Chain A
Amino acid sequence: MRKEIPIALSFLAGIIMLIDSFTPGNFAPRVELSKWLIIMSAFMVGIASVNLVRIHGANVISRRKGWFNSFSLLVMLVAFTYVGVMKYSYPEVETWKVLFQNFYDYIMSPPAAVMYAIIAFYVSSASYRAFKARSVEATVLLVAAVVVMLGKAPVGELIWSKFPVISSWLLNVANTTGQRGIMIGAAIGGFVTSLRVLLGLERGHLGGV
């Protein structure tokens, strides 16, 4: 039962989705299942938070190294959740809306943006080491990257007027061709994996039962 029921549920859910694709209009069980998926996913988000509370709560209680960081994480988690719950529970109260938006705009978004931004430095330094033109393939990659960057930056056009044209061709023709080949390959792989999940041959997501 521990093995068969999850496989049967996977199959049933997959078949409902699949039938919808081949029926005109909205297939009622699929509409219902989509709502169920949102609800179940919402509960799943809580699992991650429970894990965070367990790990960081233990850090704080046993005063491990860096416990203050864990404490700050928990405070932030509780504060943001509380403000969010109040915002959605009392939509007519403007204070909660403003506070939630400020939490999002000034506490959550800026560090995320900077984290993505500083990757530029690390990608550049990593590429300096990785892109040394040691082979023809590496050279082609390096040249394509440099031409695209020069084509997009205003200074590229000042150096050579053809840079934007070549960059545009690389983006629209060469890149599309390569991406298309990758997409077709990945789609075939995705099709096979999906079929394996539906037929119960792929069970890694169920804890390898």
Chain B
Amino acid sequence: MSTDPWIWIMGLLMLGIFSFLIKENPFYRWVEHVYVGAAAGYGLSMGYNNIINQAWDPLVVQGKLIYIIPIILGIMAYARFIKPISWLSRWPMAIISGAGAGNALYGATNSSLVAQVKANLLPLNSFNNIFMVVGVLAVMVYFLFSRDQKGPVKHFASGGRMLLMVTFGVSFGNVIMGRISLLLGALQSIFGKWLGIISL
């Protein structure tokens, strides 16, 4: 059994979360609150570091006065807590979402749409290639909601739906396997690092 107080803290916190499997209980709720506090504190620390490195140092040390603007915009976000001027908080939000939209317009379209369409332009010389070309078309037809799916289109769309079910099944299987890996890691920490019952 470990004598390191940090390992004990880790073990007890993990046990608290595991206790939820029995039923929701005060110990679990306490650990949950500690975790939320820690995560928020971590986020704040990172935020502080970013503000110092990206804004404060360039402004104060390097004398780049332009950095006063993002600082003011950042402070404006807090206007949402003061009702008469809460509308000011929309300005930084507008810039962030506008930049995200501009980025997505080219970046995401390029990587998700153009790249995927290009990757699917395969020579029809093997079963797998034919399956992929026809399969993607079938899925796209299934997502076509602007007109009624009747006759052969309906059957083609049903094929697309079936392929989507396989995709969801595969994703589900992957998620379960990933979670089991995490579970094994957590159990190793408890029984190995903390209690010393198993050797790592």
Contact = CB atoms under 8 A, between A and B. Distances in A.
Interface of A: 2, 5-7, 9-18, 21-22, 32-33, 35-50, 52, 66, 68-70, 72-81, 83-85, 87-89, 100, 102-108, 110-121, 123-124, 127, 136-138, 140-149, 152-153, 170-171, 173-188, 190-191, 193-195, 197-198, 205-207, 209
Given A49-B40, A76-B34, A148 B99 contact: no
B198 interface: no
A144 B176 contact: no
A123 B177 CA distance: 11
Nearest to B56: A39
Interface string B38-52: 111111111111111
Interface residues of B, number: 112
Given A148-B170, A177-B136, A183-B112, A88 B52 contact: yes
Contacts of B49: 84, 88
A182 B10 CA distance: 40
B70 A35 contact: yes
Given A10-B94, A72-B37, A177-B132, A191 B109 contact: yes
A49 B44 contact: yes
B37 A76 contact: yes
Interface of B: 6-7, 9-10, 13-14, 16-18, 20-21, 29-52, 54-55, 66-67, 69-71, 73-75, 77-78, 80-81, 87, 90-110, 112-113, 116-117, 119-120, 128, 131-132, 135-136, 138-140, 142-143, 160-177, 179-180, 182-183, 185-186, 189
Contacts of B10: 105-107, 110
Nearest to A205: B97
Contact of A76 (B41, B128, B177): B41
Given A21-B106, A190-B112, A88 B170 contact: no
Contacts of B51: 39, 42-43
B173 A145 contact: yes
Given A47-B77, A48-B40, A180-B119, A145 B169 contact: yes
